[in-house]
Amino acid sequence: KQEVTQIPAALSVPEGENLVLNCSFTDSAIYNLQWFRQDPGKGLTSLLLIQSSQREQTSGRLNASLDKSSGRSTLYIAASQPGDSATYLCAVESGNTPLVFGKGTRLSVIA
Amino acid sequence: KAGVTQTPRYLIKTRGQQVTLSCSPISGHRSVSWYQQTPGQGLQFLFEYFSETQRNKGNFPGRFSGRQFSNSRSEMNVSTLELGDSALYLCASSWTSGSGTGELFFGEGSRLTVL
């Protein structure tokens, strides 16, 4: 059974800092891994989707990497801004099962 | 291009009542999934529909049911509501289903409070 873990559960950084969010999964036989952002009381916004054959994806200040063999993915946020404050979730699709989500990392960027 | 639309956004019910939530996927998307999100359990999968057929079902009691219409719109129903059903119910759509569904797009959710 696939399990997804995100560490840390919460993170507070000063504006302008570069930061890394971590996601680990137990079953490396995945189709893809997706990073989402969720603002309080809102739905999820898709940030990046990495297919199993890819090593990384980039969108603006965001870069996500995938290492299937070690069961890990990282989301790198460059030059963080207060508007980046949100909960970041990773989710893994594997087998014929639906997405399995981590519990998320709650990020606060302090101005 | 319109996103995933969920209605109603907020609703309050009492124990024992039933509720129906609606989800309209992105135009052209044929797969609709439902998730329940609570502070303690996080996001938990309820069910997935593709071309009006239920493809997957999560570990929820039979009080939770859903369906999908020919235009891909989906509804989920919860009968005999319990206090523990209070949650944010999220709907997501994608182009296809299974074996690497691809990017999933979520709606804003329906916030259900059971009193």
> Which tens digits make up the pLDDT trace of B54-95?
988 999 999 999 999 999 999 999 999 999 999 999 999 988
Residue B75: its H or E element: strand B74-78
Q: Is B102 in contact with B93 (CB distance < 8 Å)?
A: no
Measure Cα distances from B65 to A78, B59, B115 in Å. 43, 12, 21
Q: Is A35 in contact with A47 (CB distance < 8 Å)?
A: yes
Polymer length of chain A: 111
Return the structure tokens found at A44.
Answer: 């999820």
Residue B103: band (very low, low, confident or very high) from pLDDT cuts 50, 70, 90: confident
> Which tens digits make up the pLDDT trace of A67-95?
999 999 999 999 999 999 999 999 998 87
- Contact B106/A at CB under 8 A: yes
> Which tens digits make up the pLDDT trace of B16-63?
999 999 999 999 999 999 999 998 888 999 999 999 999 889 999 999
> Which tens digits make up the pLDDT trace of A13-70?
999 999 999 999 999 999 899 999 999 988 999 999 999 999 999 999 999 999 999 9
| Residue A25, strand partner residues | A4
Is A6 in a helix, a strand, or coil?
Answer: strand
Is A93 in a helix, a strand, or coil?
Answer: strand
The minimum CA-CA distance between B79 and chain A, rounded to whole Å, is: 24
Residues of chain B in contact with residue A54, where contact means CB-CB under 8 angstroms, are none
Of A46, A89, A97, the CB nearest to B105: A46
pLDDT value, residue B95: 83
Statement: residue B100 has pLDDT above 80: no
Q: How far apart are CA B104 and CA A51, in angstroms?
A: 13
The secondary structure of residue B26, as a DSSP letter, is P
The secondary structure of residue A69, as a DSSP letter, is T
Statement: residue B104 has pLDDT above 90: no
Return the structure tokens found at A19.
Answer: 């930061």
Residues of chain B in contact with residue A91, where contact means CB-CB under 8 angstroms, are 43, 104
Q: How far apart are CA B101 and CA B31, in angstroms?
A: 9
